[in-house]
Amino acid sequence: MKLSLGPITYFWTKEKTLEFYEQVAKSPVDIVYLGEIICSKRAVIRFSDWMEIGEQLAAAGKEVVMSTMTLLEAESELKMMRRICENGRFLVEANDIGAIQLMKGKPFVTGPSVNVYNQRTLAKLAKVGLCRWVFPVELSEETFADMQEDRPEGVESELFAYGRLPLAYSARCFTARAHNLPKDDCDYKCGEYPDGMTLSAQDETRFLSLNGIQTQSAHTFNLLAELDELRSLGVDILRISPQSEHTLEVIEAFHNAMQGEESPEEAAARLNKNMPTGPCDGYWHGKPGIADSVLDNYK
């Protein structure tokens, strides 16, 4: 089983991003997904910069995948998607069907926002070049097991195993809205929230995290405690989604548990302490996403 690092979903400075990937290069992660997948306005890191980061990570022995945007509206965004799809050097993660169209039969990965909910979808995409898919986050272990049984040959299964869950995308920027700013004149407010802005329900339940046009869970999904089960299901890759703090520790914890150096339960419990809001794993167990099996908190 391999370990991957998903694309950064937040708007970090170029310095922080470069420094982050320097550390990632030394970490025990196997696969690194790169690129801006949320908002095309966050263009402080250009395409050529991403390719350079990719080269550095490749030189450090990492498999590099370039990720495309999730919600594409403007022609300029399609243009960037074309550049990524035609990069000719690294594998591509399609986060929208549009990118699959551009791959024209070349190998590609589908990210969590491409709805692959059944075997027939998986088989069809395999015919047009799918070589790896990320299991949609709202689906359960039961569905994953069914999908694994009919998995087309040569297609790897990747599971979103750690991080704030990607829940929704909009044309509207909620970070700008929270600052009473229009999206076209957003002042790049999302840059002030390296892990998103927390949204709480009226009973003070910390509920969601606003990340520009994306809405994430406030809780951090964590499947590390289920490691043995994931192995028996034949998961090929476990994905960690970056946060501004502790991501390297998360990589270490997963790696150690995978190597048998620490029990998965202990390592998972240790990670739970550093989460911005707390853990959740409800989706995997067929429950509301916010629920957590250890806390047993589903009302």
Partner 1 sequence: MELVCPAGNLPSLKAAVDNGADAVYFGFRDDTNARHFAGLNFSPEKMAEGVQYAHDRGARAFLALNTFPQPEGWGRWQDAVDRAAEMGFDALIAADIGVLDYACNRWPDLNLHLSVQGSATNYEAIRFFHENFGITRVVVPRVLSLPQVKHVVENSPVSIEVFGFGSLCVMVEGRCLLSSYATGESPNTFGACSPASAVEWRETDKGLETRLGGILIETVEKGENAGYPTICKARFEVGGNTFHAIEEPTSLNTMEMLPELQKAGIAAVKIEGRQRSPVYVKQVTKVWRAALDACAKDPEHFKPKTEWLAELAKVSEGSQTTFGAYHRPWQ
Residues 69-128, interacting with partner 1 (CB under 8 A): 70-75, 77-78, 81, 96-102, 113, 115-125, 128
* In the complex, minimum distance from the CB of residue 256 to partner 1, in angstroms, rounded to a whole number: 30
Q: Which long-range contacts (CB under 8 A, 24 or more apart) does 126-133 make?
A: 126/152, 126/154, 126/155, 128/100, 128/103, 129/100, 129/103, 129/104, 129/105, 130/155, 131/91, 131/107, 131/155, 131/156, 132/156, 132/157, 132/158, 132/236, 132/237, 133/109, 133/157, 133/158
The footprint of partner 1 on this chain (CB under 8 A) covers a number of residues equal to 75
In angstroms, the CA 158 to CA 4 distance is 9
Give the binding range for partner 1 (CB under 8 A) out of 2-10, 194-202, 230-238, 261-269: 194-202
* In the complex, minimum distance from the CB of residue 286 to partner 1, in angstroms, rounded to a whole number: 7
Estimate the crossing angle of helix 264-272 against helix 247-258, to 10 degrees: 170
Q: Is 247 in the site for partner 1 (CB under 8 A)?
A: no
Binder of partner 1 out of 63, 138, 156, 249 (CB under 8 A): 138
Q: Give the β-pairing of 2-5 and 130-134.
A: unpaired
**28/286 with CB nearer partner 1:** 286
**59/171 with CB nearer partner 1:** 171
Subset of 21-60 contacting partner 1 (CB under 8 A):
none
* In the complex, minimum distance from the CB of residue 201 to partner 1, in angstroms, rounded to a whole number: 5
* In the complex, minimum distance from the CB of residue 15 to partner 1, in angstroms, rounded to a whole number: 25
Q: Is 294 in the site for partner 1 (CB under 8 A)?
A: no
What's CA 125's distance to the chain center, in Å? 20
State which amino acid sits at residue 203.
Answer: D
**154/286 with CB nearer partner 1:** 286
Binder of partner 1 out of 217, 220, 222, 243 (CB under 8 A): 217
Q: Is 287 in the site for partner 1 (CB under 8 A)?
A: yes
Give the binding range for partner 1 (CB under 8 A) out of 13-21, 193-201, 238-246, 251-259: 193-201
* In the complex, minimum distance from the CB of residue 143 to partner 1, in angstroms, rounded to a whole number: 5
In angstroms, the CA 184 to CA 152 distance is 44
Q: Is 233 in the site for partner 1 (CB under 8 A)?
A: no
What b-and-e string marks burial along 121-146, b requiring 16 or more CB atoms within 10 Å of the CB?
Answer: bbeebbeebbbbbbbbbbbebebbee
**31/173 with CB nearer partner 1:** 173
Q: Is 283 in the site for partner 1 (CB under 8 A)?
A: yes
| DSSP annotation of 190 | G
Cβ count near 184 (within 10 Å): 8
Estimate the crossing angle of helix 47-59 against helix 75-85, to 10 degrees: 30
Q: Is 293 in the site for partner 1 (CB under 8 A)?
A: no
Subset of 144-183 contacting partner 1 (CB under 8 A):
146-147, 150, 165, 167-174, 177-178, 182-183
Q: Do 258 and 265 touch, CB atoms closer than 8 A?
A: no
* In the complex, minimum distance from the CB of residue 202 to partner 1, in angstroms, rounded to a whole number: 5
Question: Residues 6 or more apart from 47 whose CB is under 8 A from it?
Answer: 80, 83, 84
